[in-house]
């Protein structure tokens, strides 16, 4: 039987490398794996649906579902996760010393709906009492001028959002003091450039993020795997086949981390790091599937609602292809 040919756009990750090099195959599928940066994937998939399957911003995926115009269905594979306390920056002349000082400040972010920003605003609200409406948000390109929001925004009037001029960047405005702070998945150019103008709000972010996880059990999900809805309607079995293949690829990567006679990764103290991770997270610190991640997904759905990106709440199951929900058991 001839296999179904599909093109997948995804980042170049250790946990997906076996799919990229062909050492793990998806049942019934001949996969053309195209590695590229996530921003390019999101733009090309979101605007033109260029790929059959791709990595996608989780918040963008959920927001499009909430707006009723999503061309995708989700698969409970999460290629990217990231604690985001490390992703909050401020200008030293802004008067900011602590999270509560963000109230009333001008804060830049490349896109209001970007997943990193949703998580940061979420823990700012839960842990520090700073809500989305307490801040003036400035949107635009961080490095390149002219970046636009991928998702159409329809926010409540109490949330202040405006685009920066097309000839300016968030990096430049942060260094000049035109904005007070920045939340972004990428570090600003002014951090570590020797000027001392830009600093992290949480310089001890490893400690802060460890405490956050131990208290909440949330390891924030950034990206999800999606497939085009028209493809799913023709071949619903593909969702489960890809889910199994991604799980097998991740397991292969985890096994490589446990090789003790030589390092599979260029990390001198990999064994120590692995033991620390196991102590904090347990045996699987990068879980796929719905149930191990339900509390994480429910938190994100709540944040999207509180921040005006969802008009009405969604259930976790609304995010995923029906055939990808549940687990087969003998």
87-125 pLDDT tens trace: 999 999 999 999 999 999 999 999 999 999 999 999 999
pLDDT of residue 265: 87
Residues 313 and 246 reside in one and the same domain: yes
CA-nearest of 318, 77, 82, 47 to 212 is 82
With 80 as the cut, is the pLDDT of residue 232 above it? yes
**Whole-number percent of the chain with pLDDT over 70:** 99
Residue 61, domain extent: 4-81+221-324
Residues 148 and 201 reside in one and the same domain: yes
CA 41-42-46 angle, to 5 degrees, is 120
- Confidence band (pLDDT; 50, 70, 90) for 167? very high
Residues 262 and 161 reside in one and the same domain: no
Residues 91 and 203 reside in one and the same domain: yes
| Residue 330, domain member (yes or no) | no
Across 93-110, b (16+ Cβ under 10 Å) vs e yields ebebeebebbeebbbbbb
Residues 120 and 243 reside in one and the same domain: no
pLDDT of residue 264: 84
Provide the number of structural domains found in the chain. 2
| Residue 329, domain member (yes or no) | no
- Confidence band (pLDDT; 50, 70, 90) for 181? very high
Q: Mind listing the pLDDT tens digit for each residue in 257-302?
A: 988 888 888 999 999 999 999 999 999 999 999 999 999 999 999 9
Give the domain-ending residue among 168, 188, 216: 216
Give the domain-ending residue among 216, 232, 258: 216
Q: Mind listing the pLDDT tens digit for each residue in 36-64?
A: 999 999 999 999 999 999 999 999 999 99
CATH code of residue 124: 3.40.190.10
- CA–CA separation, 259 vs 202, rounded Å? 34
| Residue 77, domain member (yes or no) | yes
| Contact in structure between 31 and 19 (CB atoms under 8 Å) | yes
**Whole-number percent of the chain with pLDDT over 90:** 91
Chain-wide mean pLDDT for the chain? 96
| Contact in structure between 324 and 246 (CB atoms under 8 Å) | no
- CA–CA separation, 172 vs 193, rounded Å? 13
- Show Cβ contacts of residue 140 under 8 Å, excluding neighbours closer than 6 positions: 108, 110, 146, 147, 163, 164, 165, 166, 168, 169, 170
């Amino acid at each position: 039987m001839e296999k179904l040919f599909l093109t997948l756009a995804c980042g170049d990750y250790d946990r997906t490398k076996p799919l990229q090099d062909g050492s793990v195959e998806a049942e019934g599928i001949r996969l053309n794996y195209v590695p590229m940066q996530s921003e390019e994937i999101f733009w090309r998939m979101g605007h033109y649906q260029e790929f059959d399957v791709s990595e996608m911003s989780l918040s963008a995926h959920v927001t499009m579902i909430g707006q009723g115009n999503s061309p995708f269905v989700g698969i409970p594979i999460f290629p990217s996760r990231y604690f985001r306390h490390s992703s909050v920056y401020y200008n030293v002349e802004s008067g900011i010393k602590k999270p509560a000082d963000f109230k009333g400040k001008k804060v830049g972010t490349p896109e209001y709906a970007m997943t990193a920003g949703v998580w940061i605003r979420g823990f700012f609200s839960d842990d520090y009492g700073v809500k989305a409406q307490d801040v003036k948000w400035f949107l635009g390109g961080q490095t390149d001028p002219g970046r636009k929001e991928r998702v159409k925004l329809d926010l409540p009037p109490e949330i202040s959002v405006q685009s920066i001029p097309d000839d300016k960047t968030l990096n430049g405005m942060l260094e000049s003091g035109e904005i007070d702070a920045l939340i972004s998945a990428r570090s600003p150019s002014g951090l570590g450039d020797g000027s001392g103008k830009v600093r992290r709000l949480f310089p001890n972010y490893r400690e802060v993020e460890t405490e956050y996880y131990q208290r909440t059990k949330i390891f924030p999900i950034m990206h999800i795997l999606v497939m085009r809805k028209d493809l799913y309607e023709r071949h619903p079995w593909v969702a489960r086949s890809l889910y199994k293949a991604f799980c097998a690829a991740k397991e292969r990567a985890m096994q490589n981390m446990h090789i003790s006679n030589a390092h599979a990764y260029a990390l001198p103290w990999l064994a120590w790091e692995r033991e620390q991770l196991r102590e904090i997270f347990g045996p699987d610190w990068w879980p796929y599937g719905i149930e191990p991640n339900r509390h994480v997904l429910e938190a994100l759905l709540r944040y999207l609602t509180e921040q005006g990106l969802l008009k009405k709440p969604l259930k976790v199951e609304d995010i995923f292809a029906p055939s990808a929900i549940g687990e087969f058991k003998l």
